[in-house]
Amino acid sequence: MEVTRKNYKDSLSTVYSAIEEADFLAIDGEFSGISDGPNVSALTNGLDTPEERYTKLKKHSMDFLLFQFGLCTFKYDQTKSKYITKPFNFYIFPKPFNRTSPDIKFICQSSSIDFLASQGFDFNKVFCHGIPYLNQEEEAQLREQTEERRNQQANGVGTPSFISPSSSKGPAHVPEEHKDFINRVVEKVEALFSNSEKTLDLDPCTGFQRKLIYQTLNWKFPKGLHVETVETEKKERYIQVSKVDEEERKRREQQKLEREQEELNDAVGFSRVIHAISKSGKLVVGHNMLLDVMHTIHQFYCPLPEELITNTSLAELEKQLKENPFKSPQVETTERFPSYDTAQEQLHEAGYDAYITGLCFISMANYLGSFLTPPKAYISARSKLIEPFFNKLFLMRIIDIPYLNITGPDCKSTRNIQVSWVDDTSAFVSLSQTDQVQIAMNTSRYAESYKIQTYAEYIQGKEKEKPGQTAKTWGEDGWVKSNYTSSTTSGFGYPRYAWTADPSVFRKRSISPVQGAQGTEEALIADGWSHYSYPDSTGSKKMKTDGV
């Protein structure tokens, strides 16, 4: 279902209902660009730490606009043994709803716009009919301003855009060049009192001229008039004068306030969908979704915090999950919603991408069920079997840290593996044989044109730059943090990770579930899902947590 400003209010109940009844949700976003500085390779360096990746994306990606949000809901139908899907495409644009609302500035990246255009993206739906939005801070400020105006009205204090003239101390000073204009206005208003017409629309004029009109009419006609500024669809502003009694004046004041409240609710716009997703507590899945999550929080909820607390394309992933040992899930799209055909790819339409992301999640979750005893063909989005994967965002192009852990400590690793450029003059150089590290250090000791330091020294240097952080030392089995405490993760009960310090086992990484002793969900979880195997010619070594 395509949702724009034209049908947004009418569609909200359908969206809320779909979210509420869903077993899980899939999301995807389309943006006006990716990076305002570094190229994608530098922005997503393979040896980034989670903190570095977050900092770079926050610095170089948040000035772009998320202008299409794809949401697909999935509900399992036990009687049909298939998922019922409802895909939505929301077109989003931050249209200011009045002069005091935020006037958002954003940037575009030509390569991103060109790519979306080549995929048939309809930019007219964004810029002409996009749904507005306000984050929580913006909404609070505007509601405070509205309440302040309401209090002014209650206390008899008028505003420039809404006033019923009363007694005045004297006539307004009208500059010579505007006297003819004001005199014509006064003549038109006097004529209004002598005929049967109830309203008079004056010609559009400047803000200064409108001020002179208010002041003059306030003095000339202390009773019986209601004066209000009206804005046309073309953004032209003019004054409307109406003959009213006191009762009618109060009624119009109330209507004005109610209209402002309704406009403010409309301005919150798409953020209401994000609030509904958040309040639902439903599982949300995505493909390479770190940037999607950051943009969603940044645009629709609140400013991002300053610091953090294989071919992986979606199309290829979807194709792979159709082959053994995976099975394509049975799904059915509700009436009135678009029925997507995966044989005719519509990639980079956010709703379709969300739909495909959900299909991939179902296939992988159901595959985990095959390790149970007895095997299960259907794994619920609420299953404890997939809880270890909750609140972890995939970090694209990072070699040995697979995800960013939102609710616990992030993975740490040795990184003596390969070469990865940081900028034009520096790079990480990792060696597969640990004894070669010392040889390189000894050889370069007296070099003048370059400097070499171990990764351990590099990390220790960065740790010293962070005040208030617990010191770390390098032990035989990896990094050791003394008396581990963390204000950002305490209370979650997540275990610390133990990683091998032997870089020779780091080759192609695979992540696979290990069946528990009894083959039950509980046994699988107890055995830990954070097993990373690094195959080589002599076999593999596994690193596991204390059990997530």
pTM value > 0.85 = no
pLDDT at 284 over 90: yes
Instruction: Compute how many other C-beta atoms are within 10 angstroms of the C-beta atom of residue 269.
Output: 23
Confidence at residue 294, expressed as pLDDT on a 0 to 100 scale: 94
The predicted model gives 132-152 an average pLDDT of 84
- Share the mean pLDDT of the chain: 76
234-238, 373-377, 454-458: least confident range: 454-458
The predicted model gives 240-265 an average pLDDT of 82
Token pair of 192, please? 């209004």
At 121 the three-state DSSP class reads: coil
> Yes or no: is domain 407-506 CATH 1.10.238?
no
pLDDT-derived band at 510, boundaries 50, 70, 90: very low
pLDDT at 55 over 80: yes
Q: What is the pLDDT of residues 394-417, one digit of tens each?
A: 887 676 787 888 888 887 766 555
The predicted model gives 157-169 an average pLDDT of 45
For residue 478, give the H/E element and its range.
strand 478-481
Distant-in-sequence, close-in-space partners of 43: CB < 8 Å, separation ≥ 6: 34, 35, 37, 56, 57, 60, 61
Distance CA 72, CA 18 (A): 9
Cis ω for the linkage preceding 374 (within 30 of 0): yes
pLDDT at 50 over 50: yes
Q: What is the pLDDT of residues 317-327, one digit of tens each?
A: 777 777 777 78
pLDDT at 96 over 70: yes
Confidence at residue 296, expressed as pLDDT on a 0 to 100 scale: 95
pLDDT at 81 over 80: yes
For residue 295, give the H/E element and its range.
helix 290-300
Distance CA 516, CA 385 (A): 12
pLDDT at 227 over 60: yes
What percent of the chain is predicted at pLDDT more than 70?
74
pLDDT at 123 over 60: yes
Q: What is the pLDDT of residues 171-191, one digit of tens each?
A: 678 888 888 988 898 888 888
The residues spanned by each domain of the chain are 2-133+269-394, 165-243, 407-506
115-129, 397-411, 464-478: least confident range: 464-478
Confidence at residue 309, expressed as pLDDT on a 0 to 100 scale: 55
What percent of the chain is predicted at pLDDT more than 90?
24
Confidence at residue 468, expressed as pLDDT on a 0 to 100 scale: 56
Instruction: Look at the alpha carbons of 288, 293, 294, 299 in this order and tell me if their dihedral is positive or negative.
Output: positive
pLDDT-derived band at 473, boundaries 50, 70, 90: very low
The predicted model gives 477-495 an average pLDDT of 36
42-46, 217-221, 266-270, 382-386: least confident range: 42-46
Higher model confidence: residue 441 or residue 157?
441
Kindly list the distances between the CA atom of residue 25 and the CA atoms of 75, 76, 272, 490, in Å, as whole numbers in the listed order.
9, 12, 16, 29
Confidence at residue 30, expressed as pLDDT on a 0 to 100 scale: 95
Confidence at residue 291, expressed as pLDDT on a 0 to 100 scale: 93
Instruction: Compute how many other C-beta atoms are within 10 angstroms of the C-beta atom of residue 399.
Output: 19
Distance CA 528, CA 500 (A): 16
> Yes or no: is domain 165-243 CATH 1.10.3450.40?
no
The predicted model gives 1-18 an average pLDDT of 95
pLDDT at 544 over 50: no
pLDDT at 524 over 70: no
Rg of the chain over all Cα atoms, to the nearest angstrom: 31
Contact (CB, 8 A) for 530 and 545: yes
For residue 151, give the H/E element and its range.
helix 136-154
pLDDT at 506 over 50: no
Q: What is the pLDDT of residues 58-71, one digit of tens each?
A: 999 999 999 999 99
60-64, 470-474, 531-535: least confident range: 531-535
Topology given in CATH for the domain delimited by 2-133+269-394: Nucleotidyltransferase; domain 5 (3.30.420)
pLDDT-derived band at 429, boundaries 50, 70, 90: confident
Distance CA 345, CA 363 (A): 18
Contact (CB, 8 A) for 60 and 44: no
Higher model confidence: residue 201 or residue 316?
201
User: Which region holds residue 423: left if phi is over 0, alpha if psi is between -120 and 50, else beta?
Assistant: beta
